[in-house]
Amino acid sequence: MKYDPEIHHRSSIRLHGYDYSQAGAYFVTICTFERECLFGEIVRGEMLLNGIGQIVQDEWIKTEEIRKEITLDEFIVMPNHLHGVIVIKDNRNKQVQSVGTHGRASLQRRPKSIGSLIAGFKSAATTRINESHRTPRMHIWQPRFHDRIIRSQKELESIRKYIRENPLKWDNDENNPSNLAKGLAGSAFPHPRHTIISRQSTPAISTSSIEAST
């Protein structure tokens, strides 16, 4: 059974009144259209990227090179989704703590916001994929994405661990098509050597309680 948004869609909204262009750390999840496994496969607990998955990873890394206002932390490309931690810097090139909840992209995006960043990433990756595979009308992404504002160092470490271990827990992942077909849900959060990017040199992401790993 293919992914049915009427059955499997998890309702979520962005934090009302919150400025998603302000400094802070965010955990984002971006899924493929209808949860189709486009980016590769899990083999013995490791994510093996195919050509499309490699493009997605390359464009995610490029996001940090293009947008000087953000820093990428831990991330991974999975068969049908991407998990990542994004840090938006403040005007003094520091990172500060934020509070909030997870949600979806807004129709109106503020410049340098999470919504603007994700839209740009999706567009760049889609363009490259369709050009390389000669599929100009192929749908790659779901229109929405999920984001969670990271509140503390403890939460950050939990999310990093979740990202690293995501391939090992693919059989129980809520985004695994087999679990969607069965109506099962995985863990609340989302170790492969080939695709995990660990930003051990990332500076502190909060001037108060959030500190970077060393």
For residues 167 and 193, what is the distance between their CA atoms, to the nearest angstrom?
Answer: 11
For residues 167 and 188, what is the distance between their CA atoms, to the nearest angstrom?
Answer: 15
Average pLDDT in the chain: 74
202 within domain boundaries: no
Among 102, 126, 103, which residue's Cα sits nearest to residue 33? 126
Instruction: State residue 113's pLDDT score.
Output: 84
122 within domain boundaries: yes
| Site of tokens 């760049």 | 124
The answer to whether 167 and 56 are in contact (CB under 8 A) is no
116 within domain boundaries: yes
Which position has the higher pLDDT, 9 or 116?
Answer: 116
The tens digit of pLDDT for each residue in 171-188 reads 999 899 888 777 654 444
165 within domain boundaries: yes
pTM of the model: 0.71
The identity of residue 17, as a single letter, is: G
Instruction: State residue 180's pLDDT score.
Output: 76
206 within domain boundaries: no
- How far lies 201's CA from each of 13, 18, 71, 114, 198, in Å? 33, 29, 11, 22, 9
Instruction: State residue 105's pLDDT score.
Output: 35
pLDDT exceeds cutoff 60 at 162: yes
* 32-55 average pLDDT score: 96
Q: How many residues does the chain have?
A: 214
The identity of residue 123, as a single letter, is: S
The tens digit of pLDDT for each residue in 71-109 reads 999 999 999 999 999 998 864 444 433 333 333 333 344
**pLDDT tier, 134 (very low <50, low <70, confident <90, very high otherwise):** confident
161 within domain boundaries: yes
* Residue numbers of the domain that contains 117: 5-182
Domain CATH for 89:
3.30.70.1290
For residues 55 and 49, what is the distance between their CA atoms, to the nearest angstrom?
Answer: 9
171 within domain boundaries: yes
Number of domains present in the structure of the chain: 1
Instruction: State residue 68's pLDDT score.
Output: 87
